[in-house]
Amino acid sequence: MIITVSHLKRDFKVYKRSSGLITAMGSIFHRTYETVEAIEDISFDIQKGELVGFIGPNGAGKTTTLKCLSGLLHPSSGEIKVLGYYPYERNSNYLKEIGLVMGQKNQLWWDLPAMETFNLNKMIYGISDDEYKNTLGTLSSLLEVKDLLTTPVRQLSLGQRMKMELIASLIHKPKVLFLDEPTIGLDVIMQKKIREFIAEYNSIYKSTILLTSHYMSDVKKLCKRVIIIDHGRIIYDGNLSEIVEKYSKFKIITVYFKKPIEAKELTRYGKLKFFNREKAIITVGREKVSKIAARLLEKYDIGDLNIEELEIDEIINMVFSKNNK
């Protein structure tokens, strides 16, 4: 296994302050802390070349886990091994084998071209001239930024800066890549381009990638396997396709009518999600969907009818809701 996580826990001591001036003055001499469990107890393994989605709501423990895996945080207990190393030891050989991209953090110098950061990373990682030239050429071509390498970072758009951040983190061709919200804040088109790059990079270099994202389209397009975490615990680890069968009890029927009808006629078939007299979107139980579709086709003059799964976002929300009951 490339990544092995066994019973990982990570606690934080958080200063607890009560309201009021007297209490605030007293806290100068005596502070009260409480322990917050960011990661309660998680275990998982990831094989070489896997591209795994690591998803969960805000505060679930995703970023904390990635920081433990990259060596930025020391586990409170449990064991982590990546490429045979213990990340928290911060072994220089280990750091040369991994890459960490955080969508809300940057390593580029604002007033200098991104090329200056790339050159610095070349020296830090001890990359040969030929390897550096080839890797930079490949990455800049894949990301379509060859003409922007010498442009000051402050003059780049958010999407262009994100591409440069990716290059800076990948210039040493890491064997393991941790991506924390790499498409956050980007428009739909740029999100798509970043996703395509990640998929192609994984295919070319066979890197092992752990991806966190609040955009389910990222996970859906890139990851066959997902690990879902909530309140510091893993609540699902498996194929994304299987989670639909396991948690979704409904399907969506979209019907286009040739003649306008009334909404009350359709309530007997399922729950109406949308209706405008000529189009209806109905949520129907999985076991009933074939019968309901047949009844609709028999009773109404229909131009088109589609049966689809619920959006993956809705299904993931169901998982969280079920876990929090």
Q: How far apart are CA 88 and CA 68, in angstroms?
A: 7
How much of the chain exceeds pLDDT 70, in percent?
A: 93
Q: What mean pLDDT is predicted for residues 84-108? A: 90
Q: How far apart are CA 161 and CA 317, in angstroms?
A: 31
C-alpha atoms less than 13 angstroms from C-alpha of 250 in its C-beta half-sphere: 17
Q: Residue 266 is which amino acid?
A: L
Gyration radius of the chain over CA positions: 25
What integer pLDDT is reported at residue 28 of this predicted model?
Answer: 63
Its CATH class, for the domain covering 3-244, is: alpha beta
Count of beta carbons in the 10 Å neighbourhood of residue 107:
15
Beta strands in 62-175 (DSSP E): 77-82, 98-102
pLDDT per residue as tens digits for the range 144-179: 999 999 999 999 998 999 999 999 999 999 999 999
Question: 176-180 and 98-102 as β-strands: parallel, antiparallel, unpaired?
Answer: parallel
Q: How far apart are CA 169 and CA 287, in angstroms?
A: 48
Token output for 223? 């990851």
What integer pLDDT is reported at residue 237 of this predicted model?
Answer: 93
Q: Residue 32: in which H helix or E strand, if any?
A: strand 32-46
Counted residue by residue, the chain has a size of: 325
Output the pTM of the full model.
0.80
Nearest C-alpha neighbor of 282 from the set 316, 315, 313, 255: 255
Token output for 293? 């579709």
For residue 69, pLDDT over 90 is answered with: yes
3-state secondary structure of 19: coil
What integer pLDDT is reported at residue 18 of this predicted model?
Answer: 64
What integer pLDDT is reported at residue 322 of this predicted model?
Answer: 67
For residue 188, pLDDT over 90 is answered with: no
Q: How far apart are CA 210 and CA 189, in angstroms?
A: 22
- Contact (Cβ atoms closer than 8 angstroms) between residue 101 and residue 166: yes
Please state which of the four CATH numbers 3.10.180.10, 3.40.50.11540, 3.30.70.1560, 2.40.30.20 is assigned to the domain occupying 249-309: 3.30.70.1560
Question: Any idea where the domains of the chain sit in the sequence?
Answer: 3-244, 249-309
Nearest C-alpha neighbor of 71 from the set 87, 93, 52, 49: 87
For residue 249, pLDDT over 70 is answered with: yes
Q: Which of 23-32, 99-108, 137-146, 225-234 has the lowest mean pLDDT?
A: 23-32
- Contact (Cβ atoms closer than 8 angstroms) between residue 168 and residue 145: no
Count of beta carbons in the 10 Å neighbourhood of residue 295:
13
